[in-house]
Amino acid sequence: MKWDDSMDPPHNFSSGDSGADVSYTTDESKSFKEKHMDTVFQELEDKIISMIRKELKSFKRLLTQDYPACSEREEEEDEDQMRVRDELLKITLHVLMKMKQTDLADKLQSKVAPLCVKKHKSSLKEKFQILNEGISREGCSTLVNEIYTELYITEGGSEELNHEHEVRQIETASRRHTETHETHIKCNDIFKALPGQDKHIRSVLTKGVAGIGKSVSVQKFILDWAEGKANQDLHFIFPLAFRGLNLMKNTNISLTDLLHQFFTHTTQIKTSRDFEVYKVAFIFDGLDECRLPLDFSNNPSLFDVTERASVDVLLTNLIKGNLLPSALIWITSRPAAAHQVPPECVHQLTDIRGFNDPQKDEYFSKRIKDPSLAAGIIRHMKSSRSLYIMCHIPVFCWISAAVLQRMLSEAESPAEIPKTLTQMFTHFLMFHITVMSQKYDGKCEVDVHQARKSLVSLGKLAFQQLEKGTLIFYEDELRDCGIDIREGSLYSGVCTQIFRQEFGLNLGKVYSFVHLSVQEFLAALFVFLSSSAQTSSGRWTDLLKSEVDKALQSETGHLDLYLRFLLGLSLESNQTILRDLLPQTERSSDSTQQRVTEYIKMKIRDNPSPEKSINLFHCLNELNDHSLVDEIQTYLNRRDDWCRLSGVNLSSAQCLALVFVLLNSDQELDEFELKRYYPSEECLLNLLPVVKASRKANSL
């Protein structure tokens, strides 16, 4: 039998009954797959429709009821859910626009916060939750919510330029904290109309002296928003410090690109329309640090957020309302620079006056965890009126806490506790130099040569910039003073705590002292150290006298505190504090102190303005001379309250001493009775600062 003959013919799969069986099997498989696909897609359709219906109901609820802009549900959604919701929102907005329901589309977009808002909030929370109390080194900071004490913010007051030194402004403001007619404004309510007002507030200008807490108030405002605690009607807050914008002085850029550069999660916002549907706030912190022209009169008008222009043009058009007229604007400034913004561009003017007396105590209680130690510090600060007044400035509270916490907690009998500004700042400097040397160099003893070199360089910078009235510096200005910015020891060594380095956004670095008073102290220390060649007592005395004259001639009073520090450093007792660091610095003598003291008294008798004389009395206090004050205090201590100075013919110097005593009294000047003091006509004029500081003054 042959295999070929015995084999069946091959199947023809293209025809015949047998082929039909295979085709049926294939069709059945295909049908099963299609049915499975249909089932999957039907389920998918049901789920998508269900999800869309759910979101549409949510969108409808937002449009028909007074729901907050940012739903609480967002806190529970992960990033994938947020992305899906964003895409559904885009589809909904697209269809609404096709239906010509533009108003509904805008309202919905403003109500539903996209994913970028959540990311933006998270980014700002991470950045602003840390409070750098003069410390820039990572790991040495405090959470804002742990230490924050509500500051005393009031409605604006006068727009007149105040030429007094900011410490004098603080002394004056300290007398106003008890005035009941003033409205206290919380920082989270900065854009809200005051009681009795019925107006929309778009732009706010907040004034306050250096270190009073303007930036911390801004920080708390942003943090509370980012944590969902306040101002949730805002979708975006854009904090832009002038010190960072200065680095873009020569840059042409659009507003959208500027925001994308500073806030990387906002790239979804690209057009004016995007801004119109979101409620946004811009915060420009530190107008006094601005080195841009801010030419409101001559800068061209700009209305398109995508149009490129100089940063100066962008800012003036934002503040004027040409760009983003619905955006809220908050500007902070030291008083002397506030006039740079035209009054018509400011809808509400506010003042930050720092801590009132209860808030000072609250700060120390929060800052010092040991209640008994905190109470001891508070008692000491209250015992020195000049120190307690300075505690209106939060940064000074931090300085005082740093010094007194260490001194009062020492097991051994502590050294003399600081009673003057010079003593406080000298201990502050020495304390941080010692701590930094131990921490970073592992040495128990300070490297005197390196410390002196760094202090002279920083002091030179402080002095030169003080004369210019400048608080922030850039790399070229440091180099001009012999400061090598590449030298790590400058920041890891003795000067970490008093000199702060901040990084711009890939633009460069900005530097500053932690507070103006620290800059003024280092400027005085620089002059003190630089005069080491002037070994004779006479030449040193002449230098001090010339600095007294220079301060009196200053129209702005910008050298007042510097003079107090310089005179304080001339005392042997304060030089003793520095002796461990800077041996052989003593060049003062009793005769120098006596001659300078008499020179200041002569200047007081020459009767400068009462405001100028007040600082001269502070200078006498730094020189440990209280004779004029003691003279007038003898009269004031008389038992007969109604005729304390009856029959007393006060000299001009004694009259000015009376002003100083009354203004620095711890008793409130609620009502000033002139007849208690029987002043002469000349003395009456000198008493004007007391009258101004009183809520009510009764005539003779």
What is residue 651's three-state secondary structure? Answer: coil
Q: Are residues 100 and 134 in the same domain?
A: no
pTM of the model: 0.76
Looking at the fold, whether 167 and 302 belong to one and the same domain comes out as yes
Q: How many CB atoms lie within 10 A of CB 352?
A: 22
Report the DSSP beta bridge partners of residue 280: 236
392 and 425 within one domain: no
**Pairwise CA distance, residues 588 & 289, whole Å:** 37
- The tally of domains found in the chain comes to 4
User: Do residues 631 and 651 touch, judged by C-beta distance below 8 A?
Assistant: no
171 with 103, same domain: the answer is no
Of 93, 99, 83, 84, whose CA–CA distance to 59 is shortest? 93
Q: Which two tokens stand for residue 160?
A: 């007149």
Through-space distance between the first and last CA atoms of the chain, rounded to whole angstroms: 151
pLDDT in tens, 526-585: 999 888 555 566 788 899 999 999 999 888 788 999 999 999 999 988 888 887 666 565
Interhelix angle 610-622/560-569, rounded to 10 degrees, is 20
Q: Is residue 381 part of a domain?
A: yes
| 350 and 402 in a common domain | no
DSSP state of 70: S
Order the strands of the 509-513 sheet from edge to edge. Answer: 472-473, 509-513, 499-503
**End position of a domain, from candidates 589, 611, 631:** 589
CATH number of the domain within which 346 lies = 3.40.50.300
396 lies in the same domain as 464: no
- Domain end residue (candidates: 589, 613, 628): 589
- Of 245, 194, 259, 188, nearest to 219 (Cα)? 188
Q: What tokens were used for 402? A: 């740093």
3-state SS, residue 584: coil
How far apart, in Å, are the Cα atoms of 102 and each of 98, 234, 269, 305, 431? 9, 21, 18, 21, 64
* Same domain assignment for residues 412 and 350: no
Q: Do residue 336 and residue 222 come from a single domain?
A: yes
Assess if residue 290 is contained within a domain. Answer: yes
Q: Which residue has the tokens 């550069």?
A: 261
Residue 197 lies in a domain: yes
Q: What is the dihedral of CA 228, 229, 231, 234, to 10 degrees?
A: -10
Closest CA to 481 of 457, 513, 501: 457
CA 334 vs. chain centroid, Å, equals 11
Q: Say if strands 142-143 and 130-131 run parallel, antiparallel, or are unpaired.
A: antiparallel
Two tokens, residue 620: 């006498």
pLDDT at 494: 47
Measured distance CA(134)–CA(499) in Å, rounded: 8
Can you tell me whether residue 232 is helix, strand or coil? Answer: coil
630 CB-near residues (< 8 Å, 6+ apart): none
For 171, the enclosing helix (H) or strand (E) is helix 166-174
Tell me, what's the pLDDT at 139?
Answer: 47
Cα Dmax for the chain? 159
| CB within 8 Å of 392: residues ≥ 6 apart | 170, 173, 174, 212, 353, 354, 355, 356, 360
Q: How far apart are CA 521 and CA 517, in angstroms?
A: 6
User: Quick one: CA torsion of 588, 589, 595, 600, rounded to 10 degrees?
Assistant: 50
Residue 38 lies in a domain: no
pLDDT for residue 490: 47
Residues 448 and 403 in one domain: no
Exposure string for 212-229, b = 16+ CB within 10 A, e = fewer: bbbbbbbbbbbbbbbeee
pLDDT in tens, 129-174: 987 665 444 445 678 888 787 877 787 655 555 556 666 666 666 5
What integer pLDDT is reported at residue 14 of this predicted model? 47
Q: Averaged in consecutive runs of 10 residues, what is the pLDDT profile of the chain (700 residues)?
A: 44 48 60 81 84 80 63 52 74 82 75 75 91 54 78 67 61 54 82 82 91 89 94 91 89 94 84 80 94 94 95 97 95 90 93 86 91 94 88 89 88 73 92 68 65 85 90 84 65 57 68 87 92 68 93 86 94 84 60 91 81 86 87 66 57 76 64 59 69 59
Domain boundary (589, 622, 637) is at: 589
The confidence score (pLDDT) of residue 666 equals 61
Residue 92's domain comprises: 43-60+80-112
CA 61 vs CA 73, 74, 81, 103, 118: distances in Å: 14, 16, 19, 16, 21
- Asked if the structure places residue 21 within a domain, the reply is no
Whether 151 and 240 map to the same domain: the answer is yes
430 and 558 in a common domain: yes
For residue 193, tell me if it sits in a domain: yes
Question: Based on the domain organization, do 563 and 447 belong to the same domain?
Answer: yes
Is residue 549 classed as helix, strand or coil in its secondary structure? helix
Cβ atoms of 669 and 175 within 8 Å: the answer is yes
Specify the pLDDT at position 493: 45
Residue 164 lies in a domain: yes
Is 10 within a domain?
Answer: no
